[in-house]
Amino acid sequence: MNTYKTDRIRNVVLLGSTKSGKTTLSEAMMFEGKVIDRRGTVEGKNTISDNTEVEQLNQRSIYSTALYTEFMNAKFNIMDSPGADDFIGGMISSFKVCDAGILVVNATQGVEVGTEIFGRYASQYKKPCIVAINQLDHENADWEGTVESIRQSFGKNVVLVQFPVATGEKFNSFVDVLKMKLYTFTDENGTRTESEIPEELMEKTNEVRLALMEMAAVHDEELMEKYFETGNLEFAEMIRGLHAGFLKGELLPAFCLSAKKDIGVKRLMEFAINVAPNPASNPTLLTDGSELPCDENGPTVLFIYHNALEQHLGDVSYFKVVSGKITEGMDLINPETGNKERITSLYAVAGKKREKVSEMVAGDIGCTVKLRSVKSNQTLCEIGKDIVVSRIEYPQAKYRTAIKAVEEKDEEKLGEILNRAVAEDPSYEVRYAKELKQTILSGQGEQHINILKWQINNIHKIEVELSAPKISYRETITKVAAANYRHKKQSGGAGQFGEVHLLLEPYYEGAPENNRFKVDGKEMVLNIKGKEEYTMDWGGKLEFYNCIVGGAIDARFMPAILKGIMEKMEEGPLTGSYARDIRVYVYDGKMHPVDSNEISFKLAARNAFKEAFRNAGPKIMEPMCNIEIMVPGDYMGDVMSDLQGRRAIIEGMSSVKGFEVLKAKVPLAELYKYSTTLSSLTSGRASFTMENAEYQQVPADVQEKLLKAYQEEESED
């Protein structure tokens, strides 16, 4: 295989809904480039992409697959991305290493859920897109309706480069108004003939060409002047204008396609080579905020965008050469860890088909094996350099579940599998919640989680259970209260004795210090001798005041009292959740000259704290999430109604490109399986993001239910 210079490389990601035909298109592109000599089918389970067992069972892309083809003395690196929002992580990583997208639209459906969602992501990541209207050979294909739906979704920037002569079973030709040719296909292997456009099609051709010329002229002042003077642009001039507009993301050229019959694929690839940016157009952002040019004469830098464990090969690291050139045997360093790595082999990647190469230059995408310690989202660079590429930022997980092995003996192995899954797909999150005593697995949706469950069950042969995760509540107080507790135990020999009197008051940021209190109608004045302040690991604070006078409790027992209070804050008196934002004043107590010890005062402090807490207007705080929902206006009422049933607080509404944007604050407890519900309510057309916000007090009825549930749990134990 040739080594391609940066200006002859095109990195494109295939985007679109499930069943739009992305994988079939990738097969045709590789066939046109002679990387494969026979095209597979999704139904036949023999495509180069979608090559895992779980993808073949589901007959759709679940992972983003790296592919390549060679065409017109250029190399296309193709990322075949999943079509469901649940697997968005693969598309996000593809955007990191690609410079443009091909948005595949099913001509029988028009713009679908995935089309809208991925189009928004392409705009967010500033990746220009070509629109490929696919499946025009289907009996239900609707060219005009599909074009209209694209324009409704993406606006006036959509411009036709081609139009079909007929659709359905008769689709075997189209007019290309850029080339001003009629292309007719004589078989299903991309064989085509070029001919002049028939007279009966010239009126429509001129109409479409006029719109294309106007769009090309808009993006180049010189071309605009010529167009106004002559009313015409030559082919090369139109390419120049379209290229300029495309790079700005200000136009979406649309093409005719039947990927299944290899109609229009070659022409799409020709256009992409002429118009899509080469990697040199996009410098890489580094963690220090600077940009690294994609220059083959620059320092060698690789960005590892994906890791996978593959049978027979072991660890496979997929990378993009963001600068310089890489050769076999080269030694590089991970600047984040200081670990050195040797590149023992280099491969051009087409799914599981790998071709060994000796060199790759800036902009190219490939893989290597057996790197010792490099993870996804890390950088390798020349030894002596300190260059770190900015990380891929994955969307925050939207679906949480508790996971555990059915057999306790499998727990350790399950932990290893989950950690490996996160390393391969960082859009998963796994953590053990000590307070909940649960392992929490988070992902982008229910399908995302179920795919991992299938792998654990079927590949690793471990049975697991998924269940609703518990909620990380917090406990605090709203008023002053005091209590005392005497711990006394005598069982022969040395006994145990400790008595602690303490007072609690709520803490808040900026709260003034106080030594006068009114408790149960009685005035109390405390003599503060010392203060310790602690920021709790789970949020909030504890302020601990020593107010002991006259030696009622020896100073050596104060750490034990503090430890007892800390232990009870870690397992709150109301529901066993963490307690926070409390001031504790220890003001009196008693000792025994023989029986007093640290354990006695720790237990006395725990129980005194527990009693005072329950008398101090205790309240339970729940985690709240900020969510932002993009929903078509037709479904707004259903979404609003559902949110009201989830105790949501609506904080704002706006409109963006035909979508309503709804912002709300919702209790985390009400968001279990929300992604599934939202998809059901809106036929999959809505999407949402969520992030942790703050803790707020639960309503009285909810608090009562939580208290009752905890009491029942304690009584069962």
How far apart, in whole angstroms, are the C-alpha atoms of residue 702 and residue 141? 53
**pLDDT tens for residues 412-430?**
999 999 999 998 899 999 9
Range with the lowest mean pLDDT among 4-8, 249-253, 310-314, 683-687? 310-314
Pair 114, 85: CB distance under 8 Å: yes
Residue 327, token pair as written in the block = 């050769």
Q: Is 113 helix (H, G, I), strand (E, B) or coil?
A: helix
Give which of 432, 427, 444, 414 is closest to 470, Cα–Cα: 432
The pLDDT value recorded for residue 657 is 67
Pair 33, 21: CB distance under 8 Å: no
Q: Is 427 helix (H, G, I), strand (E, B) or coil?
A: coil
How far apart, in whole angstroms, are the C-alpha atoms of residue 536 and residue 176? 67
Question: What DSSP element (H or E) covers 534?
Answer: strand 530-535
Q: Which amino acid is at 373?
A: S
The residues that bridge with 65 in the sheet, in sequence order, are 80
Question: 134-163 burial, b if ≥16 CB within 10 A, otherwise e?
Answer: bbbbbeebbbeebbebbbebbeeebbbbbb
Report CA-CA distances (Å) from 593 to 491, 694, 700: 17, 48, 47
Pair 114, 61: CB distance under 8 Å: no
The pLDDT value recorded for residue 569 is 95
Question: What DSSP element (H or E) covers 267?
Answer: helix 265-275
pLDDT band (50, 70, 90) for residue 190: very high
Tell me what percent of the residues of the chain surpass a pLDDT of 70: 99
**pLDDT tens for residues 115-125?**
878 888 888 88
pLDDT band (50, 70, 90) for residue 483: very high
Residue 58, token pair as written in the block = 């589901």
pLDDT band (50, 70, 90) for residue 717: low
CB neighbour list of residue 159: distance below 8 Å, 6 or more residues apart = 211, 212, 215, 251, 252, 253, 254
CA 626 distance to own-chain centroid:
16
Residue with tokens 């991992």: 452
DSSP state, 87? Answer: G
CB neighbour list of residue 188: distance below 8 Å, 6 or more residues apart = 260, 261, 262
pLDDT band (50, 70, 90) for residue 278: very high
Opening angle at CA 78, ends 359 and 40, nearest 5: 110
pLDDT at 112 over 90: no
Question: What DSSP element (H or E) covers 699?
Answer: none
Pair 347, 321: CB distance under 8 Å: no
How far apart, in whole angstroms, are the C-alpha atoms of residue 9 and residue 120? 25
Give which of 128, 93, 104 is closest to 18, Cα–Cα: 104
Q: Show the DSSP H helices in 59-132 as ranges.
A: 88-97, 113-124
The pLDDT value recorded for residue 594 is 87
The pLDDT value recorded for residue 115 is 84
The pLDDT value recorded for residue 492 is 66
pLDDT band (50, 70, 90) for residue 242: very high
Question: Average pLDDT, whole number, for the chain?
Answer: 93
Q: Where are the beta strands (DSSP E) in 220-350?
A: 252-256, 284-285, 291-292, 301-310, 314-323, 325-327, 331-333, 340-342, 346-350
Section 219-246 average pLDDT? 92
First to last CA, the chain: 68
Give which of 274, 241, 271, 276 is closest to 363, Cα–Cα: 276
Section 489-516 average pLDDT? 89
The pLDDT value recorded for residue 56 is 84
The pLDDT value recorded for residue 373 is 85
**pLDDT tens for residues 245-270?**
999 989 999 999 999 999 999 999 99
The residues that bridge with 347 in the sheet, in sequence order, are 356, 367
The pLDDT value recorded for residue 658 is 67
Report CA-CA distances (Å) from 384 to 372, 486, 546, 643: 19, 66, 55, 55
> Which of 56-65, 148-157, 354-363 is modeled with the greatest confidence?
354-363
Q: For the chain, which domains are there?
A: 7-276 (3.40.50.300), 284-382 (2.40.30.10), 399-470 (3.30.70.870), 475-617 (3.30.230.10), 620-702 (3.30.70.240)
Q: Which amino acid is at 566?
A: M
How far apart, in whole angstroms, are the C-alpha atoms of residue 209 and residue 530? 84
pLDDT at 52 over 90: no
**pLDDT tens for residues 72-101?**
999 999 999 998 888 989 999 999 999 999
